[in-house]
Amino acid sequence: MSTKTRKRNRRTPEVVYRNNKPVSVILDIAEYNKMLERLEDVEDIKFIENLKSKQLKFRKLDDFLADHNSNV
């Protein structure tokens, strides 16, 4: 088996079956990390869209600090 073939096979997800049903996927760690980053991006976008839909509220800094017992 050539090096190219091994590299290509590692990048191809492998599905694990039990009782003829897919139960797991084995994939390259780089692909897994890319998927996680994309999911985090989607969550961030949803969070920002939620913030945009709310009305902005402004408070005086002194009021904020008093509420949070900050020593700033």
Q: For 29-52, how does the pLDDT look when each residue is reduced to its tens digit (9 = 90+)? A: 999 999 999 999 999 999 999 999
Percent of the chain with pLDDT over 90: 58
Q: Does 8 or 37 have the greater pLDDT score? A: 37
The alpha carbon of 58 is separated from its chain's Cα centroid by a whole number of angstroms, namely 31
- Whether 31 is covered by a domain: the verdict is yes
Helix (H) or strand (E) holding 34: helix 29-53
Q: 63 — phi, psi (to 5°)?
A: -65, -45
Here the contacts of 27-31 (C-beta below 8 Å, separation 24 or greater) are: none
Q: Name the domain count of the chain.
A: 1
* pLDDT the model gives residue 68: 84
Structural domain of residue 46, as residue ranges?
A: 3-67
Nearest to 28 by CA among 39, 36, 20: 36
Does residue 72 sit within a domain?
no
Would the pLDDT of 56 be above 90? no
Looking at per-residue pLDDT, the higher value among 69 and 9 belongs to 69
